[in-house]
Structure 1
Amino acid sequence: MADRYIEISLVKRGIHCTAKLLDDRAPITCAAVWNSLPLSADVYHAKYARNEIYALFPPFAKTEPPLENPTVTPIPGDLCYFSFAGAELGTKAYGYDAEVRPGTTVVDLALFYERNNLLLNGDVGWVPGIVWGQVVDGLEAMAQACNDLWRSGAAGETLSFRRSATTP
């Protein structure tokens, strides 16, 4: 299979980066994401994992991918896939809208932009993610935009994932 690439964007800020799908390490997750693109939603900055931005989506795969290529210590440029039961994220401490509630499933697509991340949540413990992509171009500019998002807020900003027409 030829290498596949996606573009990840912070739409309002006009910043994007390009990532290579890790089809050799997470083929089921890559297929699920690829077949669902484009995806776009409100962006959040992590509270617990440190240097992470993410968006939440309704489930888009026929069945949730298995825990392939897992990590609890993502590195800069990792794209991770998480699936949560709404009850895991439905407390007021997380601050999500009405879509995140008991009885629902939520898919979290995340981009890690700097070092020293640890996927340990005080409510549920270790939260392994599936590493399904790696940023290969534009991470430095994206990291600066993510730091700005952390400092100035995420309100009104969108995180977008789409197939890339070109390779880096």
Structure 2
Amino acid sequence: MSKRIRISLDKRGVSCVARLLEDEAPRTCAAVWDALPLSGQAYHAKYARNEVYTLVPPFVQQQPGKENPTITPIPGDVCYFGFEPWEIGNPAYGYEPGSEAHAAQGATDLAIFYGRNNLLINGDAGWVPGNVFATIEEGLEDIANACQDLWLRGVEGETMTYARL
């Protein structure tokens, strides 16, 4: 039986269920599963379009490397990105001083994609492939509506939690 996780926008009281893609991204799935639960400030993407994510401290000694990578995630994709401090600490990205984006050890980005036409490119760094390690199988419409609300009304005070089912 496949492992499943619950991804929640806590303040809005909305969640979805995603199935881990253990055949396609075994190292990434194992790293995330072993680290759960994980929670942090929710952010809505500026560049990638229909993406909501959280930044958490790195939770693996060695990055899993590229597995099932994409630069064009589709609705329901759940992605992992491991960032070095220099990759996301740019003040132009808008992260508050002291946030995970400015941590000396870098940050791990766990993201969901809730709509179409996403493109993972960064004006400073170029293409930013993410490891697709899970797919949302329940609650995509509800979480998409909540993500759109984040875009329209802001993310302040919203947290995103990833937990085992």
Deviating more after overlay: 127-136 vs 100-109: 100-109
Distance in 2 (alpha carbons) for counterparts of 1:62 and 1:82: 14
What are the within-5 Å matches in structure 2 for residues 9-158 of structure 1?
9-97=8-96, 98=98, 99-101=100-102, 103-158=104-159
Distance in 2 (alpha carbons) for counterparts of 1:20 and 1:130: 14
What TM-score, normalized by structure 1, do the two folds share? 0.94
Distance in 2 (alpha carbons) for counterparts of 1:120 and 1:25: 23
Corresponding residue pairs, total: 163
Match of 1:31, SS state, is helix
Match of 2:115, SS state, is coil
Identity value in percent: 57
* Conserved 8 A contact 1:87-1:102: no
Q: Please, which runs of 5 or more residues in structure 1 have no aligned partner? A: none
Distance in 1 (alpha carbons) for counterparts of 2:12 and 2:89: 29
* Conserved 8 A contact 1:15-1:142: yes
Q: What are the Cα deviations for residues 90-139 of structure 1, in whole angstroms up to 9, with x where unaligned?
A: 11111223243374221000000000000011110000000000000000
Match of 2:91, SS state, is coil
CA spacing shift, 1:120–1:41, aligned 2, 3 Å: same
What's the RMSD between the two structures over aligned residues? Answer: 1.0
Deviation of 1:41 after TM superposition, in Å, equals 0.3
What TM-score, normalized by structure 2, do the two folds share? 0.96
Match of 2:80, SS state, is strand
Distance in 1 (alpha carbons) for counterparts of 2:91 and 2:64: 28
Q: Please, which runs of 5 or more residues in structure 2 have no aligned partner? A: none
Deviating more after overlay: 101-110 vs 136-145: 101-110
Distance in 2 (alpha carbons) for counterparts of 1:105 and 1:46: 18
Distance in 2 (alpha carbons) for counterparts of 1:103 and 1:158: 22
